[in-house]
Amino acid sequence: MSETGSSEAARAARALLRPDPVLGIPLPAYGGRSLPNVSASVVRALGHEPSDEPRLLPPLVASLDPFHGRRAEGPVLLLLVDGLGWKPAGEPRGVGFGGFPSAWVRGARPITTVFPTTTAVALPSLSTAQSPGRHGVVGHRMYLPAYGAVAEMLRMSPVGVTSAEALIGPEWTPAVISGVPNLFHRGVEAVAVSRDRYEESGFTRLLYDGAEYVGYSTAADFAHRLAEVLGRPAPPPLLLAYWDELDTVSHLRGPRPEFAAFETAQVERILSAAARRIPRATARRTTVVLTSDHGHVPSERGAEIAIDREPPIRSRLQHPPGGDRRAGFFAARPGTLPALEEALARRLPPGHRILRMRTAVERGLFGPPPFHPELEARLGDLLVLVASPAGITYRVPGAPARLRVSASAHGGLEPSELLVPLLSGRLVDLVRPQAHL
């Protein structure tokens, strides 16, 4: 990244991290500098702006718009690299963008993801162009009044239930979870390119129902499938692609810059291989927009607070906590809210924050209204944020113990969790003679 580009990006990052004067924490920039604004910009560039309610969030501000206010010339490849925070991507010499064209790297800028900073919340925000408070998926774990249970969104099962998809019955539809339709039920034609093992899962249906799903198994297969879709006689206007290996290795080994460098170089190689296999005219017309759902912070076993082992806290809970390890949602039994707040304050480590959830919603942490009708019930009464490397855990009685403790985590509002990159360019720029399948 050039010195000018680096300084502009640093100023943008500082502005995004400026704390809210009431909450004392930074807020996602839903007004035009956040993840769902990216998909809103893509929809506008495709010439399709749904007019039905609720309206989409605004597009990216002009200085971030990959299309500069114009229509896209051809297909748009919107690629989300899971776990790619801005900090590793913004290192000097562009180490985190391994192999991408210098013009792309110079133009890279930070944006915010959503809150909580986790995949289960970010991906629905991207596929709806809405904030979490509107679509209603507000946590990796979330209380669902219709089921009377706290469920894990990625697995679509109540916490403690070992089998996945326990919530999915013959009458289940995404509307059971989400309060708004995704973009593909609002007329946007698209193909989703993601792991074949996720096809037909409840969470995948929540994200991509109405779009064509193309599964891949390996990096080579990913490049192959991208080339197949883009090489069609009439390629789709939008490809939503997902790469998860950086998130996986970060959880296993910790958030290390060399992992980000390796995986972004791998992504560049995949895109380059796909670009070589399609007509050059198509590659020239295809715009690539690359972003992420969250970054990572270190996590340690000894820094975890097991809420199920804390009777003064557990006895005052209406149900198990929702949210995430880095951002817990606590619902108090009637009449016990002050006592629950006090018990939490006594047990949590230095650097924690306890916020009244109603105030957090009013200040815009989950985005602007109109809100999902179950938002208040899904969130509870208190939001607890802990400083890294701490985390909040809750094990349901009888549930199996975790075999591995993650070496990194996300979900909170520290800079490495909240800031993600946005970069873009023409797919033809990635044609490399050394890229092969």
**65, 145: one domain:** yes
Residue 44 lies in a domain: yes
- Residue 54 confidence class, pLDDT cut points 50, 70, 90: confident
Alpha carbons 384 and 285: distance in angstroms, whole number: 46
- Residue 247 confidence class, pLDDT cut points 50, 70, 90: very high
Average pLDDT over residues 242-257: 96
**65, 119: one domain:** yes
**132, 230: one domain:** yes
**165, 63: one domain:** yes
- Residue 374's domain comprises 301-411
| 21-31 pLDDT tens trace | 999 999 999 99
**pLDDT attached to residue 221:** 98
For the chain, how many structural domains are there in total?
Answer: 2
Average pLDDT over residues 143-171: 96
**247, 166: one domain:** yes
Residue 422 lies in a domain: yes
Average pLDDT over residues 50-79: 95
Contact 307, 392 (CB under 8 A): yes
**28, 148: one domain:** yes
What rounded mean pLDDT belongs to the chain? 94
Give the burial class of 113: count Cβ atoms within 10 A of its Cβ; 0-12 exposed, 13-18 middle, 19 or more buried: buried
**pLDDT attached to residue 434:** 55
Residue 435 lies in a domain: no
- Residue 94 confidence class, pLDDT cut points 50, 70, 90: very low
**334, 224: one domain:** no
**200, 322: one domain:** no
**pLDDT attached to residue 92:** 44
Average pLDDT over residues 243-262: 95
Cβ-based neighbours of 342, under 8 Å, separated by 6 or more: none
Query: Which of 4-18, 129-143, 167-181, 225-239 is predicted least confidently?
Result: 4-18
Residue 437 lies in a domain: no
CATH number at residue 388: 3.30.1360.180
Give Cα 155 distance to the centre of its chain: 16
Residue 366 lies in a domain: yes
Total residues found in the chain within this entry: 437
**100, 228: one domain:** yes
Average pLDDT over residues 80-85: 97
**294, 305: one domain:** no
Average pLDDT over residues 89-106: 70
Residue 436 lies in a domain: no
**397, 421: one domain:** no
Residue 382 lies in a domain: yes
CATH number at residue 263: 3.40.720.10
Question: Does the pLDDT of residue 387 top 80, yes or no?
Answer: yes
Question: Does the pLDDT of residue 91 top 80, yes or no?
Answer: no
| 318-371 pLDDT tens trace | 999 999 999 999 999 999 999 999 999 999 999 999 999 999 999 999 999 999
**423, 404: one domain:** no
Residue 180 lies in a domain: yes
| 271-303 pLDDT tens trace | 999 999 999 999 999 999 999 999 999 999 889
Percent of the chain with pLDDT over 90: 88
